[in-house]
Structure formats: structure tokens, C-alpha cells
Chains A and B, each alone.
Chain A
Amino acid sequence: MSMTWDDVGTAEVLLGFSPTPAVRRGAREEPALARIALIAVAFAFLTLFLFVPLVAVFTEALRKGWSAYITAILEPDAWSAIKLTLLAAAIAVPLNLVFGVAAAWAIAKFEFRGKSVLITLIDLPFSVSPVIAGLIYVLIFGLQGWMGHWLSDHDIRIVFAVPGIVLATIFVTFPFVARELIPLMEAQGNEEEEAAVVLGANGWQVFRRVTLPNIKWGLLYGVILCNARAMGEFGAVSVVSGHVRGQTNTMPLHVEILYNEYNFAAAFAVASLLALLALVTLVLKTLVEWQVNRQLKGNENEH
């Protein structure tokens, strides 16, 4: 495949529409100089704000060599932070997955009062500052909070302990799966499910055999994004964590502690694991996106 800077308007090619070359050039294209300038501007912007920071994470992580890098990651506190991060994500993601499917089922398959209000409320956690997400759980479960006395009488710790971290993680990743599934299930309509019901399938069978195969890629897409945010959340978790090294520190919090101790190489070593996670997330996301588009195109061709 030859890579050229010259782009023939793709829509015209697809439509088999070919006006005279002079009109075509002028109609959908800028002069070559403008094109190169625009690409250069886009590149410069992305380089400054995206590529350089990404490269910096890995360069700084390896500044003191591979052995220091490995030591920083295998250190017990780092290890327990990794485990806590995985645990929080392992609880938060499945819960939000179940919620997302239930919400999308109600919203996409039925017409009911207050639907648009419900959709707005589901999006709410995205517009709340992570710091406030942490704060509200402190207000309820903290010592001065609504349930503080009762909890301390029963020796239950939620805030400044693992349950608080899990709750804060659930809050910040709340909308991801629902948000992905609602438009997808709305686009697919009810006909297939209705046919299955008429043929005698029960609710679970309809969901497993008809709905799930249709939404599996969209579902996976939501889960990938939800997981990335769950593992990377900083602000909300920071408020409810209590920052006990080796106990209530997630990976991002561990990065902060190391950084504040001027242990930069170790901080960037742990950060590089999170950056790798982000890169893997992007690769998976791109692959899944491709599948979703293929499925949507397939659906269009069927109808």
C-alpha cells in the first residue's frame, strides 16, 4: 500500500461519483500547503501533550537501570498496592457490569416515565469531582458521619479501609457499562427478543441466547473502560484510603507516596505498570471497537 499525503475524497469514491478533477480538488480538499500545515499542527499538539509524557514515564522508570526497576516493583509495599488495586477492580467492575446490563435492559427495551431523568442520573458520577466522590462516603461512614457511631460500636471500618476504597471505585466507574450498552441496545430494537418470547423462551433464555450475543462486544468495551478507570482512580480513593502503607494503598496512591518521598525512579517504575495497563487498554479497546463496527454493519446488511 502506498502511503501518500494525497487524499481523494473517500465519499466520492464510494459513491462512484466523479466530477471533473478541477471541481473535485477544490470541493473537498485544501491546498497541499494547508494540509501539511494542519497535520503539522495536530502532530505538534499531540506530541507535546501525549507522546512526550508517555515516553517520559518509561524513561524516568528506567533511569536507574533494570535492577532498580525490578526491585521497586517487587518491593512488598508495591506488591500489596498491586493486589489491592486488583481486588478493588475485581469487585467494582462486576457490580457495575450487572448494574449496566439491568439499567440498559430497562431503558432500551421499555418505554417508561422518567426515563430521560434516569439516564441523566446514571451519568451523574462523571460530572462529580473525584474528590467529592470520596468526601460523600466519609460523610456517611466516617467517625463524624451518619453511620459513624453505629459502625465504630460494631467495630466495622469502611472509610480509611478497603471497603471505602471499593465504594469510591464503584462510584467513579458507575456509568461506564450502562453508557455503552444503552445506545447499542436501543439501536438493536426489540424484535429478536419479542420473537423469542413468542416462541416460548423465558426471560433468562431470551437474555442469554438472543440479547447477550448481540451486545457482547459493546459489553466488553464498557468493561475495558470501566476496568482502566477502576485501577487508575486517584482522587476519590485518596480521600477514603487513609494512606496506610502496605494496607490501604492502591497503585496510584503508592506512586504518590514514593513521589513525595523523592523516590522518583521507584514512583515512575510503579507508574510505568499503570501506563502499560493504559496502553493494553487502548489496544483492546481498538480491537473491540473494530468488532462492534463490524457487528453494526452486519446488522445493517441483514435489514
Chain B
Amino acid sequence: MKSLFLRQHSVLPGFGLALGFTSLYLSTIVLIPLSAAFIKTAVLSWEQFWSIVTASRVVASYELTFGASLLAATINAAYGLVVAWVLVRYRFPGKRVIDALVDMPFALPTAVAGIALTAIYAPNGWIGRILLRWGIKVAFTPLGVLVALVFIGLPFVVRTVQPVLEDLEADLEEAAATLGADRWQTFTRVIFPTVMPALLTGFALAFARAVGEYGSVIFIAGNMPMVSEITPLIIITKLEQYDYTGATAVAVVMLIVSFLLLLLINCLQWLSRRREAAA
């Protein structure tokens, strides 16, 4: 195995064991089970598969899932950039606590987030009550889905942009100012292009997470077919009806989208690393 894989001789021991165990564990837990989904779907003819994954109720769920995820990731990109900027550049009381709390959506179980957001944004909740006065209903509508997805995607952009802002060289901005640029010009022409790859990576990560999200959404969504039903819920509903093939077919569509997103994220990260190396 060593001679087959190793590119460079090393005096360190344990390569065969470590790589062997890693591959075995990865295959057992992740790869073989995931391939089960594709193999299960292979029993369907193309027409059968196509009619399952393009049924109107399923298509409505894609529109909601991908639309709300895209919108949530965009909101997170905009506000995440502001939060990262404020945390890196300014000093204010409670800054370290807030910095730590940004990771809350990573640490808080999604079911807890789901019921908490529902309680707040329900028509009789703290914020829902105020919004209802303006005629806006959040909980049990597609807007509720958006709120949940913004919550779970919140840390991604902040955490990818923060280190880039921290490493930003002061002389670039000073040079821009010396050459007569005002603050807004410096931001749009100097800072923003540098931050852009990280911002895109954070956006893609938030989007990928939102597409697959289940726990925080189902409580607040209301789960009405054709209106506020997300794709992961379609899979669950089909499973509960013992329609394993149908559930798996929809899952395969989602898996393909996830793989494409993963590929995109890897490309983005590779690009930003190359930029860094060039600079």
C-alpha cells in the first residue's frame, strides 16, 4: 500500500494503518450508505424517476427550499459582512461576548432554534405581534422558513470574512487615502475585492446548509403542501408512507445539488488560496 500511494518517502511510521483505517471508516459510515441511495434509485426507469422528482408538489418544494435558501444566504452575506466588519474594526462594550455568541446557531440544536423562533414570530409572539400590526405574518408561512434559514446560516459568512478582514494590510488603505480616495471608494475599490472570495465562500456554505436544513424549519413553516413545505420534509413524508423509492429519488436530486455545491465551495476556496499565494 505504501509504495502504491506514497509520493515521498517518510521516516514517520503508521501511514498504512492510518490511511487504511481512515478509508475503511469513511467507506463504512459515509460512502457505502450514500451509494445505497443511488443504487436504490437505479431500479427506477428514467421516466419513473423523472415523474417522481418533477411532481408538482415536489417542484413547489424545490422552489421554496432553493428560493428561501438563496434569499437567506444573501441576507446573511450582507449582514454577515457588517457584523464581521464591526467585530474586527470597532471597539465597544461586550464585543467578546457577542463575538462568541455569533457561533450560537452552530451550537444550538436545530429543534430548539425551531421552537424558539416559532414562539417569537407566531402571531402572539414578541416580534410576531408587532409585525402582525403591519399585516405581516411570519410563522406558518414561507417567510417563517426564511427566518429559520437566516438563523442557521448566520455564522458562516461572519466566520469566513472575519479572518480576511483581520489580515488586511493597513498600508493598502492608507495608500488609497493618500492618493485621495474617500472612505467609500477605499471600501469598494480596495477592501471589497479582497474580501469577495471569502464572502462568496461564506455565502455558498450558508446556502448549502440551508438547502438541507430540516429541524429549525419544520416548526415555523406550517408545512402546507405547495406553499410552505420544504424538500427534506417531502422525503420524510414519503418515508412515513413507506414510499422508500419515492423518498430516495427526491433525496438523490438533493444529493446531486449538494455535491455540486461542495464542488463549487472547494473551487472558491482553492481560488482564494491561490490569490493569497499570489499576494
Contacts and interface: CB of A to CB of B under 8 A. Distances in A.
A121 B89 contact: no
A275 B112 contact: yes
A135 B82 contact: no
Interface stretch (A22-30, A65-73, A149-157): A22-30
Interface in B109-126: 109-113, 115-117, 119-120, 125-126
A154 B107 CA distance: 39
A203 B5 CA distance: 20
A140 interface: yes
B116 A57 contact: yes
Residue from B21, B126, B174 whose CB has the most chain A CB atoms within 10 Å: B174
Interface stretch (A38-46, A212-220, A294-302): A38-46
Contacts of B23: 118
Interface residues of B, number: 101
A286 B196 CA distance: 27
A15 B171 CA distance: 11
A27 B170 contact: yes
B18 A278 contact: no
Contacts of A277: 107
Nearest to A255: B111
A50 B104 contact: yes
Contact of A111 (B7, B14, B119, B208): B7
Contacts of B85: 38, 42
A136 B11 contact: no
B12 A197 contact: yes
B229 interface: no
B19 interface: yes
A54 B116 contact: yes
Given A23-B178, A49-B150, A282-B104, A268 B12 contact: no
A74 interface: no
**Mostly helix, strand, loop or mixed at chain A's interface?**
helix
A136 B86 contact: no
Does more than half of chain B's interface fall in helix, strand or loop, or is it mixed?
helix
B82 A132 contact: no
B255 A128 contact: yes
Contact of B6 (A105, A110, A268): A110
B214 A50 contact: no
A222 B232 CA distance: 28
Contacts of B98: 46
B31 A131 contact: no
A106 B235 contact: no
A28 B169 CA distance: 10
A235 B116 contact: no
B15 A271 contact: no
Contact of A28 (B18, B19, B170): B170
Given A130-B214, A139-B40, A38 B174 contact: no
A28 B32 CA distance: 53
A127 B210 CA distance: 10
A192 to B, nearest CB: 11
Contacts of A136: 33-34, 36-37
Contacts of A60: 116, 119
B183 A26 contact: yes
A135 B245 CA distance: 11
B46 interface: no
A135 B247 contact: yes
Nearest to A194: B11
A144 B258 CA distance: 26
A102 B18 contact: yes
B107 A127 contact: no
A132 B36 CA distance: 11
Interface string A77-108: 00000000000000000000011001101100
A198 B11 contact: yes
Nearest to B14: A203
B251 A135 contact: yes
B162 interface: no
Interface stretch (B47-55, B56-64, B259-267): B259-267
5 contacts: A42-B82, A129-B235, A174-B30, A207-B14, A234-B111
Given A23-B178, A46-B101, A132-B254, 15 more contacts: A5-B91, A23-B177, A34-B183, A53-B120, A103-B22, A111-B6, A111-B10, A113-B4, A135-B239, A146-B36, A167-B29, A190-B12, A282-B100, A286-B96, A286-B100
